[in-house]
Copies of this chain bind each other. A is one copy, B any other.
């Protein structure tokens, strides 16, 4: 179901072709929230068109077909967003790896935690730059998805870095204790 709403949400920002939607998932959206390839997007778009949530323009150059959100589509998206959201599933292989790290011997675990902290620090710089700039407001007076995502990513990476540093400290306690 999530892909469906991700597509509606992207089209709420601006009309787009399937190809462009696939590109959007390669950015911040795919990084923190949801991913999908073109092969999954095209069939789902067709379904949304069938249901009248999305309108498909005629083929343009190179067979490009621009999709636009309909009023019904916007309402469907909004109804989903307003609905209370409990029990949503999380799948994050990176976090899984972090949790299982103590299966390594302390030396290896320590090395990886240092790498994690360093990588987070690298990711932070460009995000800081984006977020410290001016707030981008769309013509319709809405915040851009990419801006919201950058703000989220910034705090997310800071949290992960802090966790790695904390975990290193806890590992030291284990060493002193044993």
Contacts and interface: CB of A to CB of B under 8 A. Distances in A.
Interface string A89-112: 111111111111111101010001
Interface stretch (A15-23, A39-47, A56-64, A157-165): A157-165
Determine the main DSSP class of A at the interface with B: helix
Nearest to A74: B103
B93 A92 contact: no
Nearest to A11: B103
A59 B18 CA distance: 52
Interface string A128-154: 000000010100011111011101100
21 contacts: A2-B91, A2-B96, A12-B103, A28-B99, A31-B90, A32-B92, A33-B91, A33-B92, A33-B95, A34-B90, A34-B91, A34-B93, A89-B91, A90-B91, A98-B152, A99-B149, A99-B152, A102-B144, A135-B170, A156-B156, A158-B159
